[in-house]
Amino acid sequence: MGTVSQSVIVQDPEIHSGEPVFRGTRVPFQTLLDYLEGGDTLDEFLEQYPGVSRETAIAALEEANRSNRGAR
């Protein structure tokens, strides 16, 4: 039986008014983008948000990249 991969970014109207967050957290995905756009490293983000794993953060960035490519 194959595995079904779930998005690591989820939206729930009960969490941050539906803003995209990392699955299983209340950490907005936009926060990661803001860190990176501001010149901070992924490690600096992860230090501030230990509930988000490195693997999850990277998967979210890859997912957003794939989604963005499809929108072009």
pLDDT per residue as tens digits for the range 26-49: 999 999 999 999 999 999 999 999
Question: Mean pLDDT lowest for which of 2-16, 32-46, 56-70?
Answer: 2-16
Q: What are the Cα distances from residue 20, in Å, to 3, 29, 48, 66?
A: 23, 6, 18, 16
pTM: 0.84
- Name the band, by pLDDT with cuts 50, 70 and 90, for residue 62: very high
